[in-house]
Amino acid sequence: MPTVKPRVILLTHTAAPEKVIAGAAKLCYSGAEIEDLLSGIDEEGAGKFVDMLSSIGHESPIEHASFTFGIEGVSRTFLAQITRHRIASYSVQSQRYVEKSPFGYVCPPEIAEIPQAAALFEEAMDACGAYYDKLTELLSEKHEKAFLAAGETEKSAKRLAKKKAIEDARFVLPGACDTKMIVTMNARSLQNFFKHRLCNRAQWEIREVAKQMYKLVYAVAPTLFSHSGPPCLYGPCPEGKMSCKKQAQVREEYAAMKERLGQ
């Protein structure tokens, strides 16, 4: 069974997101007609509006820009973490309807670095896969007989039996089992997501995904996300005694990242 790595693509986003946000802000602070909200707002003007909103803490207009990501090569453990961010929309590949044989899995880096641990982990994944296949086989046999007795054709009985079998066989799949999903967040929710998940104290898998998401949205809306990231980028670390104490390195990393992205 193959190991997998997180991969994120930006599927779509609000067209001219900073301009849309600027139009929403313009409505709040002027008597402009709806039809004229976006007129006269160029890239520079949109950037000034977005900066102004950031400086005064007026965050509601940025909710009008949304970003949709395709995420794959992540674990079901990751799924449990990201869905804690409730102001978002999620569509996830179903283990109930999609057979996972063989399944890909995510191996934690700390395990991968120790050959003996990596071998043990791989053995455990192989065992889970074997149990899943055997349970699917046993359950399919049972369900096929029931569907045939109910009058289904042999072809239909096999198809229905397999679908019903994997619904229960999936319970043996590990948290490391891979999955894929589509995630949509508005810009305000994304900024909150980045605040928590780009911190060095965030779990490694969701931090890696957050970093890929950050790079993608920064490339299309640099002003909007210019102050996004872990809190220590723009102020003291809020983690207290739990701080990673690497603020200088974090700031250097993000400065270099922004330079590579063209800012």
Distance of alpha carbon 28 from alpha carbon 21, whole angstroms: 11
**Structure tokens, 68:** 């949709």
Whether 172 and 132 have beta carbons less than 8 Å apart is answered as yes
Overall average pLDDT of the 30-56 stretch: 75
Q: Would you say residue 31 has pLDDT above 90?
A: no
Name the band, by pLDDT with cuts 50, 70 and 90, for residue 27: confident
Name the band, by pLDDT with cuts 50, 70 and 90, for residue 79: very high
Q: Would you say residue 179 has pLDDT above 60?
A: yes
DSSP state of 16: S
Q: Would you say residue 16 has pLDDT above 70?
A: yes
Q: Catalytic residue among 76, 170, 188, 197, which? A: 197
Work out the mean pLDDT of the chain and round it to a whole number: 92
Dihedral over alpha carbons 246, 247, 250, 252 (to 10 degrees): -110
Q: Would you say residue 66 has pLDDT above 90?
A: yes
197 catalytic per annotation: yes
Overall average pLDDT of the 9-20 stretch: 94
Instruction: Identify the pLDDT of residue 53.
Output: 77
Closest CA to 262 of 223, 211, 212, 209: 223
Distance of alpha carbon 181 from alpha carbon 78, whole angstroms: 11
Supply the angle between the helices 187-197 and 204-220 in degrees, to the nearest 10.
Answer: 140
- Cα–Cα distance list, 252 to 192, 223, 231, 255, 256 (Å): 21, 19, 14, 5, 6
Instruction: Identify the pLDDT of residue 7.
Output: 97
Closest CA to 13 of 185, 164, 167, 140: 185
Instruction: Identify the pLDDT of residue 32.
Output: 67
Instruction: Identify the pLDDT of residue 29.
Output: 73
Instruction: Give pLDDT tens digits for 196-233.
Output: 999 999 999 999 999 999 999 999 999 999 889 999 99
Name the band, by pLDDT with cuts 50, 70 and 90, for residue 35: confident
**Is the bond into 108 cis (omega within 30 degrees of 0)?**
no
Beta carbons within 8 Å of 147's beta carbon, 6+ residues apart = 156, 157, 160, 161
Does 50 or 188 have the greater pLDDT score? Answer: 188
**Structure tokens, 38:** 């976006």
DSSP state of 228: -
Name the band, by pLDDT with cuts 50, 70 and 90, for residue 1: low
Instruction: Identify the pLDDT of residue 28.
Output: 74
Distance of alpha carbon 28 from alpha carbon 199, whole angstroms: 33
Instruction: Give pLDDT tens digits for 105-140.
Output: 999 999 999 999 999 999 999 999 999 999 999 999
Amino acid at 57: G
3-state secondary structure 74-133: EEHHHHHHHCCCCCCEEEECCCCCCCCCCCCECCCHHHHCCHHHHHHHHHHHHHHHHHHH
Overall average pLDDT of the 137-160 stretch: 96
